[in-house]
Amino acid sequence: MPKKAKELSALAVAKLKTEGRHAVGGADGLHLRIAGGSRAWVLRVAVGTRLNDNGKPVVHRRDVGLGSYPEVSLAEAREKARELRKQVRGGIDPIEQKKQDREALRVQQSKAKTFRECAEVVIANKSRELKNAKHVAQWQSTLETYAYPTIGERIV
């Protein structure tokens, strides 16, 4: 049976100073990593299997960052760790899930159009309707002066 870490209090966690990985208990695999002047919450989870250098399947362990110590409290870190453990039990790799979410967001943003792009399409369509080229220039000038500096790069 695996060894369970003693559940530390918030005061005991604040007093930790030595560099390294300190188990804080309350959630399996939750550690406070101290390196140099930084302190961060890390959750170590076993996600599936992988092949080692000899070609044998071994447990694939991942370290998932949960945030820096002062910004994320001990209670919040324990809660996040429990949620991530539920995902892992459900067969979801949290790091791969985060990568997929980021990629989906990037694709969505690349498909989205800005106000400037939409306005240029409208001006191109309007230029066919307007008989005087000066009117088209007025439309463009007004948008460039007033609209583009404030909302030109916003996604529509």
Average confidence (pLDDT) over 131-135: 85
> 155 and 113 in contact (C-beta within 8 Å)?
yes
What integer pLDDT is reported at residue 2 of this predicted model? 58
Assigned domain for 110 exists:
no
Among residues 91, 37, 90, 45, the alpha carbon closest in space to that of 66 is found at: 45
Average confidence (pLDDT) over 60-78: 90
Residue 132: partners with Cβ closer than 8 Å, 6 or more residues away: none
DSSP string computed for 61-125: EEEEEEEETTTS-HHHHHHHHHHHHHHHHTT--HHHHHHHHHHHHHHHHHHS-BHHHHHHHHHHH
More confident: 72 or 111: 72
Residue 1 has pLDDT above 50, yes or no: no
**87 and 17 in a common domain:** yes
Q: Provide the percentage of residues in the chain whose pLDDT is more than 90.
A: 37
Average confidence (pLDDT) over 97-101: 91
The CATH number of whichever domain residue 43 belongs to comes to: 3.30.160.390
**87 and 19 in a common domain:** yes
Assigned domain for 100 exists:
no
Residue 63 has pLDDT above 60, yes or no: yes
pTM score: 0.63
Distance, in Å, from the CA atom of 128 to the CA atom of 123, rounded to the nearest integer, reads: 9
Assigned domain for 42 exists:
yes
What integer pLDDT is reported at residue 32 of this predicted model? 92
**121 and 88 in a common domain:** no
**119 and 88 in a common domain:** no
Assigned domain for 102 exists:
no
Read off the amino acid at residue 99: K
Average confidence (pLDDT) over 127-136: 85
What integer pLDDT is reported at residue 131 of this predicted model? 80
Our count of domains for the chain comes to 2
Residues spanned by the domain of 24: 10-92
pLDDT band at 10 (very low <50, low <70, confident <90, very high): confident
> 36 and 19 in contact (C-beta within 8 Å)?
yes
**129 and 66 in a common domain:** no
Report the mean per-residue pLDDT for the chain: 88
Going by the DSSP 8-state scheme, the letter that residue 29 receives in this structure is T
Assigned domain for 99 exists:
no
Burial category of 72 from C-beta neighbours within 10 Å (exposed 0-12, middle 13-18, buried 19 and up): middle
